[in-house]
Amino acid sequence: MTETTIETLDPRVRRTRDLLRSALCKLLKEKEFEKISIQDIADAASLNRATFYDHYDDKFALLECMVGARFNELLSKRCVRFDGQCDGALRAIVLGVCDYLQEALQTECERQRQMEPHLESAVVAVVRQMILEGLKLHPSQRSVSPEMVASTASWAIFGAAREWLRTPDRCSSDEIAGTVEKLVTPIFG
């Protein structure tokens, strides 16, 4: 069962995971990720270590879940959905990734570099899942699987957004979203 399914079925699970995510978020404002222990997170959430391990394998899994949940919230607030056919949705996804990365990396301290691979993994997973669900709504006769297309597109979107973010004197996120959309659209065939 996926985490989303479990959370949908059991409000206690959702509540506990929200507590753990909030605790990690609070701790990240106080100290470096590498110095945060599972016990610190459990204490900040007013839970025990065993409860933490009932929900996550380690603090990296919690971090990825926290990032994924926040990114999903941003896309939900913007009503972004990809149905496999609407080009505007692809642009909205790209814009969401750009804006999320810009906000996440501006609010995080320079010392939080250890978190970047987990941020990357979580955002790519959300984008991949959204694209895959859209592609499955409209099956095609292409020779490449929808999973391969979704993976390629999600990594291309993330990579382009990250490169944009690292560019000095960069253009607006709205401008780059149009450029990335043009680059990624051929992936869909």
141-151 pLDDT tens trace: 778 999 999 99
Structure tokens at 152: 């390629």
- The whole-number pLDDT of residue 139 equals 76
Q: Average the pLDDT over each of 23-37, 49-63, 74-88 and give the range with the smallest value.
A: 74-88
pLDDT over 70 at 2, yes or no: no
CATH architecture entry for 63-188:
Orthogonal Bundle (1.10)
Domain boundaries, the chain: 1-56, 63-188
* In contact, 114 and 34? CB cutoff 8 Å: yes
- Which amino acid makes up residue 44? A
Looking at domain 1-56, which of 1.10.1060, 3.40.50, 1.10.150, 1.10.10 is its CATH number? 1.10.10
Reported as a pLDDT band with limits 50, 70 and 90, residue 69 is confident
- Spatial distance between the Cα atoms of 56 and 38, rounded to a whole number of angstroms: 10
Reported as a pLDDT band with limits 50, 70 and 90, residue 112 is low
Q: Residue 152 burial by CB count (10 A; 0-12/13-18/19+): exposed, middle or buried?
A: middle
Question: What is the model's pTM?
Answer: 0.78
Averaged over 51-55, what is the pLDDT?
Answer: 96
Closest among 182, 179, 187 to 154, alpha carbons compared = 187
- Spatial distance between the Cα atoms of 20 and 59, rounded to a whole number of angstroms: 10
